[in-house]
Amino acid sequence: MSVDGNWTIVVKSPMGEQPSTLAVKAEGGALTGTQSAQGQSQAIANGKVDGATVTWSNSITQPMPMTLEFTGTLDGDTLNGSVKAGAFGAFPFTGKRA
């Protein structure tokens, strides 16, 4: 199954659940799209698809500037994995096709 489409992503951080939306398209091994949260939307970077493994990064400015590095596994209409949040470590995320 393809990762293409719209997703609801929830990061389980020490600050509570952090929801976002993800709109992506895979072409070859590349993944492009946008991620939106807290009223801000921006293009994802470094997006890749390798079998069922999906990776991308997103630079945020709130609550503080940092780059989030996502690694997930696609399983039908779910996309679950972890996100590395700079010096704060890694946190799990869950994703469901919207």
Q: For the chain, what percent of residues have pLDDT higher than 70?
A: 100
Question: Contact at 8 Å (CB) between 95 and 15?
Answer: no
The mean pLDDT of 62-68, rounded to a whole number, is: 84
pLDDT at 3 over 90: yes
Single out the residue of 79, 62, 61 nearest to residue 70, CA to CA. Answer: 79
pLDDT at 61 over 90: no
Alpha helices in 1-98 (DSSP H): none
pLDDT tens by residue, 31-47? 999 999 988 899 999 99
- pTM score: 0.94
Which pLDDT score is estimated for 83? 97
Single out the residue of 1, 51, 58, 2 nearest to residue 25, CA to CA. Answer: 2
Whether a cis peptide bond, with omega within 30° of 0, leads into 63 is yes
Which pLDDT score is estimated for 38? 85
Which pLDDT score is estimated for 65? 86
Structural domains of the chain in order of their starting residue, each with its CATH number: 5-97 (2.40.128.120)
The mean pLDDT of 21-37, rounded to a whole number, is: 96
Which pLDDT score is estimated for 67? 93
